[in-house]
Chains A and B, each alone.
Chain A
Amino acid sequence: MKLTLKIWRQENAKAKGRFETYKLDNISSDCSFLEMLDILNEQLVNDQIKLPVDTISFDHDCREGICGMCSLYINGRPHGPEQGTTVCQLHMRHFKDGDTITIEPWRAGPFPVVKDLMVDRLAFDKIIQAGGFTSVSTGGVPDANAIPIRKEDADLAMDAAACIGCGACVAACKNASAMLFVAAKVSQFALLPQGQIEARERVHAMVAKMDELGFGNCSNTYACEAECPKNISVENIARMNREYFSQAITKANRNQSGGGAG
């Protein structure tokens, strides 16, 4: 395959970025998208004339679609044209010979560009640190089978827990909302008895942190679900909203009844 690539280059977070055009030839259709970028980088290194050259920086790690590190915006879509696929699992057979491909980093305020196609997603870690866990310490817990859980609930919790934290949902959203990411974590725990103890604190703390970090409101366009490489459902957002308001009502009721335990 012959390809023309328009790639976003940006020295660092503060520098001004620009598109650069690169030509590639003889790319096998069985090659993965990231391997195609490896070949381009190899070509840049071998280019003897234009010293000093610099390779194109992009995040990647497992290349099996599970670590969530890869994050490319390809022809206007997070993770490219294939439904339910991370960039690392995307293969060149989904492109045509002679195609021009535009590659950008995630574009969202809370995800500043580090260099070229790399962004900083520390904001996601901060949301999890605000409450995306059960506060159990190591040791002193009951036998695993002491807590039976309906298979259906466990399966739904697993569906939500499959989120890889890549940030495609944010990149896809015109409001740069992190609702799907937060909802997936809130849902996982809302569906399990282990998550009930801190349900109220969790949903409020995570939503507050999300707002504080500058993620926008839900656009209700469901672009997040459409672009999620793990097909996380927007039903999780509905579940989170229920959780948020029912916990808010419980809190209000408790305050009214004079407990002041809120």
Chain B
Amino acid sequence: MTKLNAKIPSGPLAEKWTHYKTDQKLVNPANKRKLDIIVVGTGLAGAAAAASFGEMGFKVKVFCIQDSPRRAHSIAAQGGINAAKNYPNDGDSVYRLFYDTIKGGDYRAREANVYRLAEVSNSIIDQCVAQGVPFAREYSGYLDNRSFGGAQVSRTFYARGQTGQQLLLGAYGALSKEIGLGHVELFHRHEMLDLVLVDGRARGIVARNVVTGELERFAAHAVVLATGGYGNVYFLSTNAMNSNASAAMRAFKRGAYFANPAYVQIHPTCIPVHGDYQSKLTLMSESLRNDGRIWVPKKKEDAERVRKGTMKPIDIPEADRDYYLERRYPAFGNLVPRDVASRAAKERCDAGFGVGNTGLAVYLDFAESIQRLGRNVIEARYGNLFQMYEKIVDENPYETPMMIYPAVHYTMGGLWVDYELQTTIPGLFAAGEANFSDHGANRLGASALMQGLADGYFVLPYTIQNYLADQISVPRFKTDTPEFDEAERKIQFEIDRLLSIKGKQSVDTFHRKLGIIMWENVGMGRNEAGLKLAIEKIQLLREEFWKDVRVVGSKTGVNQELEKALRLIDYLELGELMARDALLRNESCGGHFREEYQTEDGEALRDDQNYKYVSAWEYKPGDVPEKHIEPLNYEFIEVKTRNYKV
């Protein structure tokens, strides 16, 4: 078994990053001009990295699948971004942000990476303010903060309910500046379909130009994947329609290990599913839990009445409401972490107390806050979210409680990376949601934006130099090599095969089937039998797909059906990998809840003796992937049972 080397610097926790930066190799300005870097993805991590590399003097090629880098799905993040500024003077510190993140991740993240994340968090806020990001401010003119789940301090910076948009537009501005200056070259409407290795190192990509349908080759000295998460395996998720797992999966097939694929975050506050034609789910920001109270009826009769529509939620008296999060977790109440809140909602609905016409919903109620603070204050804080809710559901949340239910939102798993964010393929780096490194088994709210920008602005610009310093004598690459030929031939074969099947079922039909298998068996509650069944069903579905899929249109020009089919190939393999990982992790931790492993009162039961590790999967052509282990050593904090009750 390969030994995974995380390359964690020695020394005390608070000094590791400083030590690393002191000892790392650098590339001088004249040499930077001779080195090319490919960045795939233009979300927070990709745009920040590409802009920073360009400023430093590297030659950068950046790729996005949409018509503009500004469309990347980071744009949809609503609530905020964490930092350890301690502006409100409420007891925050770098150590506390680090501690909360490790604890929130259920002690399944790497200590050194998470400490570095907390350490650079403050610089992110400084950078964004300097870019002109219009964060919310107090009347004093200074920055405002709010609270998010899993924290007892207010450390979340925000820009109304559009924090992701504003941070992304900041990074997009920086990237645009570098494109304008000619340091970065943009390839929009390009989708990466393979990674090219030369002598074992990542040296380029093959991407499909989705306008012409042509396969194009690009070479570089290093490749950065900032291609987001894989939540769309489930078909229904809060991810954008074009978010996909292909870049990561194709890197996996070229030798990059895939870490913790089973760790998926199911977000507690999403608008419930309403019909079988539904294409995606919409998140309602976690920030709503600052002022909204979550409840279901205490009596099953009442729950049944509201489901049938013979009773309105506002007519249920206070004494007959069960504020189950406040009841079960008095210390954190409605602001428990996402995994805990999601499971609690599922528990109530499974027990027959759910509301909405499907019974798969709980209330998020603002009546008390509106009474306490006034409607105008609630409107100022959450106006756009309330408006979005009303547009979708056709109900006014100022007058009747919102209905919410958990939905797939974020994937903590991703490509395995070391402390330098380098994958197991030399020269291939992964940043943001595409890597696995910082959130353990559960991510805290407002930490995804923090991690994406930390990786892009403040980690990769250092660590990539340590790699490229050894590459300065390597001349620019040509793309007319056997390695590029082979990669392109492989994709061409795949495309021709898809178009030639001419079966009876559409791409989406298969994707929906996969989604149901995943949601039922690899969702909020998992067990051995269900996971084994999922693996079997996915294998059968994959066979059926290759026999009966119907991909219309041609390979030249725009063909959105073909784009979806190519992505589904990878989902059909990743889904199985997720189930395998979940099956072998015989414990419950964070977003991974194995029904066999729970306490008497239904809390997750971790097994630190046997599972305090990262699972990292290696692709084996024609065989099941092989699992490797990176043990997690907690040198600096005491590993405890996660408790949000007291």
Which residues of A come within 8 Å of B, CB atoms? 11-12, 28, 30-32, 34-35, 38-39, 41-42, 44-46, 48, 51-55, 57, 59-69, 82, 85, 89, 91, 93, 114-116, 118, 120-122, 124-125, 128-130, 132-139, 141-145, 147-151, 154-155, 157-158, 161-162, 164-165, 188-189, 192, 194-195
Interface size bracket, B side? 35 or more
Residues on the A chain within 8 Å of B85, using CB: 144-145
Contact residues in B for A154 (Cβ distance below 8 Å): 134-137
B429 CB–A CB distance under 8 Å: no
CB–CB A68/B70 < 8 A:
yes
B71 touches A134 (CB 8 A): no
Residue from B51, B76, B461 within 8 A of A67 (CB atoms)? B76
B560's contact among A57, A63, A129, by CB below 8 Å, is which?
A57
Question: Distance in Å from the Cβ of A1 to the closest Cβ of chain B?
Answer: 12
Bound together, the chains give a CA A82 to CA B390 distance in angstroms of 13
Closest to B509 in A: A42
Contact at A188–B134, with CB atoms within 8 Å?
yes
Which A residues lie within 8 Å of B595 (CB)? none
- Is B317 close to A, CB under 8 A? no
Q: Are A67 and B71 in contact (CB under 8 A)?
A: yes
Given that A31-B277, A121-B68, A141-B127 are contacting pairs, would A128 and B560 also be in contact in the complex, using a CB cutoff of 8 Å? Answer: no
Interface residues of B in 77-99 (CB under 8 A from A): 85, 87
B131 adjacent to A194 (CB under 8 Å) = yes
Partner of A118, one of B126, B138, B160, B558: B558
Q: Are B75 and A66 closer than 8 Å at their CB atoms?
A: yes
Task: Tell whether B66 is near chain A: CB-to-CB under 8 Å.
Answer: yes
The 27 sampled A-B contact pairs (Cβ below 8 Å) are A11-B557, A30-B275, A32-B392, A35-B278, A38-B279, A42-B506, A44-B552, A46-B506, A46-B550, A53-B553, A59-B66, A62-B241, A63-B280, A64-B388, A67-B75, A67-B76, A82-B391, A121-B68, A132-B173, A134-B173, A138-B174, A138-B457, A142-B126, A158-B134, A161-B166, A165-B68, A194-B130
B385 to chain A minimum Cβ distance, whole angstroms, is 11
Q: Which residues of A contact B173 (CB under 8 A)?
A: 128, 132-134
Q: Could you tell me the distance between the alpha carbons of A32 and B188 in the complex, rounded to whole angstroms? A: 27
Chain B positions 122 through 148: 1 when the CB is less than 8 Å from some CB of chain A, otherwise 0:
010111111110111111111100000
Give Cα A165–Cα B69 distance, bound, in whole angstroms.
11
Known A-B contacts A121-B67, A165-B68; A136 and B131 likewise in contact (beta carbons under 8 Å):
yes
Cβ B557 vs Cβ A55 within 8 A: no
In contact, A158 and B160 (Cβ under 8 angstroms): yes
Say whether B169 contacts A161, CB under 8 Å.
yes
> Is B14's CB within 8 Å of the partner chain A?
no
Q: Is B439 an interface residue when CB atoms closer than 8 A count as contact?
A: no
B172: interface (CB < 8 Å):
yes
A55-B561, A129-B180, A154-B135 are known contacts. Are A122 and B67 too (CB-CB below 8 A)?
A: yes
Most buried by A among B76, B128, B173, B561: B173
Q: Please judge, given known A-B contacts A35-B277, A64-B388, A144-B125, whether A12 and B557 are in contact too, CB under 8 Å.
A: yes
A137, B126: Cα distance in complex, Å:
12
Q: Which residues of A contact B165 (CB under 8 A)?
A: 66, 162, 164
Which residues of chain B are within 8 angstroms of A12 by Cβ–Cβ distance?
557-558
Contact B558 A145 (CB under 8 A): no
Chain A residues near B241: list those with CB within 8 A: 60-63
Q: Is the CB of B553 within 8 A of A54?
A: yes
Chain A min CB distance to B545 (Å): 14
- Which residues of B sit under 8 angstroms from A35, Cβ to Cβ? 277-279
> Which of B126, B172, B558, B559 contacts A143 (CB under 8 A)?
B126
Rounded to whole Å, the gap between the CB of B158 and the closest CB of chain A is 11
Q: Which of chain A's residues have a CB closer than 8 A to the CB of B280? A: 63
Minimum CB distance partner of B456 in chain A: A138
- Indicate if the CB atoms of A138 and B135 lie closer than 8 Å: no
**Contact of A89 with B388 at beta-carbon distance under 8 Å, contacts A61-B71, A63-B240 already known:** yes
Pick the contact of A133: B69, B176, B557, B560 (CB < 8 A).
B176
Say whether B246 faces chain A, with CB atoms less than 8 Å apart: no
Q: Does B242 count as interface, using CB distance less than 8 angstroms?
A: yes
Please tell me if the beta carbons of A93 and B136 are within 8 angstroms of each other in the complex: no
Return the chain B residue nearest A58 by Cβ. B560
Complex Cα spacing A13 to B173, Å: 29
B179 within 8 A of A: yes
Q: Is B52 an interface residue (CB 8 A)?
A: yes
Q: Kindly report which residue of chain A lies nearest to residue B557, judged by CB atoms.
A: A12
Which of A45, A64, A141, A148 meets B141, CB within 8 Å? A148
Question: Are A91 and B552 within 8 A (Cβ)?
Answer: no
Q: Contacting B242 at CB < 8 Å: which of A61, A133, A151, A189?
A: A61
What is the bound-complex CA distance between A84 and B275, given in angstroms? 25
Complex contact B211–A114 (CB within 8 A): yes
Give the one of B134, B174, B388 with max A CB within 10 A: B134
B215 CB → nearest A CB, Å: 18
In the assembled complex, B55 has its CB within 8 A of some CB on chain A = yes
Nearest Cβ on chain B to A113's Cβ, whole angstroms: 11
Q: Is B282 an interface residue (CB 8 A)?
A: yes
Contacts of A38 in B (CB 8 A): 277, 279, 508
Which residue of chain A has its CB nearest to the CB of B180?
Answer: A129
B127 close to A93 (CB less than 8 A): no
Contact status B139-A151, CB under 8 Å: yes
Interface 1/0 per residue, B375-419 and A, CB below 8 Å: 000000000000010011010000000000000000000000000
- The docked-state distance in angstroms from the alpha carbon of A124 to that of B87 is 37
B172 cross-chain contacts in A, Cβ below 8 A: 128
A116 to B558 alpha-carbon distance, docked (Å): 10
CB of B29 to closest CB in A, whole Å: 14
For window 47-76 of B, CB contacts with A under 8 Å fall at 48, 51-52, 55, 66-73, 75-76
| B159 sits at the interface (CB 8 A) | yes
Complex-state Cα separation, A130 to B179, whole angstroms? 10
